[in-house]
A and B are shown apart, each in its own frame.
Chain A
């Protein structure tokens, strides 16, 4: 079973909120110095899902990441976790693409790789959180898509997927090849097995440019983008604290209940 996992490198979501800076004019995030970017959490779960399938059914895992040259680090991370191979998609033309452009580039790379039974993505990226690329990618590739998977089982040429919905889960089946986006409900990713870490660190990750994957310049033209960023701002967080008092604890509880009933 051959799996392709799409992984994105994002700004460390664990940085202290006060350190998060943006350039409102350029509509860009300013990455703080000395903080290495990390693999998007959901994408790491997608790698874990691929590894669990590989544990059972063997096969090959290829990781793909579109981003800067530094994205080689997330490919190396995926390889350390157990992926067999990986490529970075980097080109000036790929910068600041919207979900449609990103999906197009990934689709071209996947078509270049050729044979696959399954494409996995995280449910959404940990930075922009649009959650669109997976579905659009499936559309371009012309394969079925199941989103928000919490469990994937393979049988012959069919995949059986537990999909998270607001009040529980549903079980869906799809023929291979197909695309699945993975939710964090799938479980904690493993720690990279020891020696793979060192092996991955020394590995040279090939970089594919636009012409390597045969991406058409018109499709990458910002003029043809489906979405546009109008503005960017850091959300302001306001917290108010009010002490609820009362003569006795029972009194205080009654006041609290009254206050809460008004809020609901």
Chain B
């Protein structure tokens, strides 16, 4: 006997039950459709390619909870807690579907043995869920780790409390319904916890009518709460259960964090980049709804860690709130969209980003923060002609001098580093298969030239046949692109591709991860398909082939700093470490933040030239602390910017005696002789 077969105030329970379902699902779908239309305010973007692969990988990552297990640190158990809750609710969801079928008065039935087994599983699962919720409550309200700390809006606080209460209540109601049912109908072989409760209820000596009445009431309460939660979720701002799976499904499958070019057909537009909600793409708007507020991005953001105004989470949530605020009017066509720059997102936030990608790397639901920041920069630079003075200086230098360095910043000329070196410098009409692309910093800045020369000597020692461009090499365009000055980048990309083709270049080796990423991942969109190898990959290969032997005992304790554009952007973590471990008698120690969680040196995204905003400290000083913390005598890196940033922070903190920074090519050269 199910409570739906009873009659309430003359209305059959059956109608009440399915009526409630119809209303709840109706309200849910209406709101869901509204949110779907909000996403549709954005510009279309084709993310339906390789749909089979997308679906399988999304199902796999969600079912395994690989997404939420991307933990902030080894000691943070939030991911495990979420996984418990997710799997637990998964079991309950199946249970709800089964029991709605059984108890909905549809005349369905299943073997009672199965029912008992499933209920027993739910008994145990509910314990796990309640445990996970308790830990979450303790974390959120008592221990309060930094990543969860934020100035919550009132409605968010209400949502969090409602969520925890509803989840706990549903678990408790599961036990109550079960216990009451077994007691009221005096059923045998009860599931473990339900059984304990049932015997207790029977032992109180309550009449079976009382038990039955209470059971009916609690049974209805359980469904009302469940349906209430269904309606409440899309109406609250807790939208991630609805939109995160879609966000994972439509994640970028191209090279990580490669930027979308402004296509030629849009070059004649009046406005570029993003300043208003409809300027975003649909995926970018979906990102906003998918955010889980978890704060992993913020906890890993170098700007945020050093007290700048940027927090990737706040930026996303502010944009989301703005979307929910202005969305209805935009959908109704009642109002024109307002610019968000200055009000929803400040210019300081936009310029504080080093594009290191740490936020995207740890985001459990594949939010693409960096693209949004670059799109906002594109609007500032290309449409509004507004940028920090240091950014303007950099861009002007790139424009008139072909590189971002200028005057007193560099005492060298582009081709100077090649003088007195026996190098094959390409002139007009010369051809070569392999080009060593030096990059602006490696050619112009004294300290970096040392690393460049070390690399050429390593290549020569391994009898590699390579050429260089010398004075005709220009910038790859990366600093302009990351600063939002897209057209300067496109021009440089086109020019460089022409140069590579004119010399018949097949393979490009470069020591700069920014050039590497740009030429490898971004030039193909402009017709430049070359084999691009980073110097660490090339050296690792030379060692593997036996063409390079590291024989000298350096007796050194080293730590390796992962350049963001080599590690996170291109997943090159292994090769540099292999090389260092191949040096006899060296000990490689890892910093607490390393590999994909490595902290940026502070110079990415044009920040070698764009002045760092005031904060609690400078990013390179924070990173210096990480390196000093390992007790290593040397920090090795594989990026000209990182090398500079370490040199600067070591000098500033007067740590020359305890730590030395070297480019990987320099240490390889030292280990050869």
Contacts and interface: CB of A to CB of B under 8 A. Distances in A.
B471 A188 contact: no
Contacts of B412: 16
Contacts of A39: 400
Contact of A194 (B401, B407, B408, B485): B485
Interface in B234-274: 262, 267-269, 272
A131 B272 CA distance: 40
B413 A35 contact: yes
B201 interface: no
B413 A19 contact: yes
A195 B488 contact: no
B481 to A, nearest CB: 12
Given A190-B385, A191-B385, A193-B385, A38 B401 contact: yes
Interface of B: 262, 267-269, 272, 381-382, 385, 387, 392, 395-396, 399-402, 406-408, 410-415, 470-472, 485-488, 490-491
B400 A198 contact: no
A69 to B, nearest CB: 16
A262 B382 CA distance: 55
B489 to A, nearest CB: 10
Contacts of B490: 198
Nearest to A80: B399
A192 B487 CA distance: 10
A219 interface: no
Contact of A16 (B385, B402, B411): B411
B385 A38 contact: no
Interface string A182-203: 0000001011111101110100
Given A38-B400, A77-B400, A197 B487 contact: yes
B487 A34 contact: no
B419 to A, nearest CB: 10
Contacts of A59: none
A32 to B, nearest CB: 6
Nearest to A18: B411
A247 to B, nearest CB: 29
Contacts of B491: 197-198, 201
Q: Which of A32, A77, A195 has the largest number of chain B CB atoms within 10 A?
A: A195
Contacts of A36: 400-402
A23 interface: no
Contacts of B407: 14-16
A12 B410 contact: no
A165 interface: no
Nearest to B400: A38
A256 B583 CA distance: 56
A33 interface: yes
Contacts of A35: 401, 413-414
Interface in A4-56: 12, 14-16, 18-19, 32-36, 38-39
B385 A34 contact: no
Contacts of B262: 194
Given A16-B410, A188-B392, A197 B401 contact: no
Interface size class on chain A is 20 to 34
A203 to B, nearest CB: 13
Contacts of B471: 33-34
Contact of B401 (A12, A190, A193, A201): A12
A64 B310 CA distance: 46
Contacts of B488: 197
B487 A191 contact: no
Interface-centre pick from A18, A194, A198 (highest chain B CB count, 10 A): A194
A99 to B, nearest CB: 25
A35 B443 CA distance: 13
Contacts of A32: 413
Contact of B487 (A19, A188, A190, A198): A198
A124 B413 CA distance: 26
Contacts of A193: 382, 385
Given A14-B407, A34-B471, A195 B413 contact: no
B492 to A, nearest CB: 10
A191 B381 contact: yes
A199 B264 CA distance: 11
A191 B471 CA distance: 26
* Closest 10 pairs (CB-CB, A-B): A34-B471, A14-B407, A194-B382, A195-B267, A194-B487, A34-B414, A34-B415, A38-B400, A197-B487, A16-B411
Given A15-B413, A35-B413, A197-B487, 13 more contacts: A14-B406, A14-B408, A18-B411, A32-B413, A33-B471, A34-B471, A38-B401, A191-B396, A194-B485, A194-B487, A195-B267, A198-B490, A199-B267
Nearest to A73: B400
Interface in A99-115: none
B457 to A, nearest CB: 22
9 contacts: A14-B401, A34-B472, A35-B401, A35-B414, A191-B395, A194-B381, A195-B267, A195-B268, A197-B399
Contacts of B268: 195
A16 B407 CA distance: 6
Nearest to B409: A14
Contacts of A197: 399, 487-488, 491
Nearest to B407: A14
Contacts of B400: 12, 36, 38-39, 77
A148 B470 CA distance: 41
A194 B272 contact: yes
A77 B407 CA distance: 20
A201 B488 CA distance: 10
B74 to A, nearest CB: 45
A195 B266 CA distance: 9
Interface in A154-199: 188, 190-195, 197-199
A161 B442 CA distance: 47
A195 B407 CA distance: 28
A56 B387 CA distance: 23
A191 B483 CA distance: 13
A194 B387 CA distance: 14
A33 B406 contact: no
Contacts of B385: 190-191, 193
Contacts of B406: 14
A191 B413 contact: no
A34 B401 contact: no
B382 to A, nearest CB: 4
Contacts of A201: 491
A197 B406 CA distance: 21
Contacts of B382: 193-194
A33 B412 CA distance: 12
B487 A195 contact: yes
Contacts of A38: 400-401
A199 B267 CA distance: 9
B486 A194 contact: yes
Contacts of B272: 194
A8 to B, nearest CB: 14
A211 B487 CA distance: 38
A193 to B, nearest CB: 7
Nearest to A15: B413
Interface centre among B400, B414, B471 (most CB of A within 10 A): B400
Contacts of A16: 407, 410-413
Nearest to B490: A198
A188 B269 CA distance: 25
B401 A33 contact: no
Contact of A34 (B269, B399, B411, B470): B470
A35 B472 CA distance: 9
A198 B392 CA distance: 18
Contacts of A34: 413-415, 470-472
Contacts of A14: 401, 406-408
B413 A33 contact: yes
Given A190-B385, A191-B392, A198-B487, A33 B415 contact: yes
Contacts of A188: 392
A12 B401 CA distance: 8
A18 B412 CA distance: 9
A195 B395 CA distance: 15
A192 B485 CA distance: 10
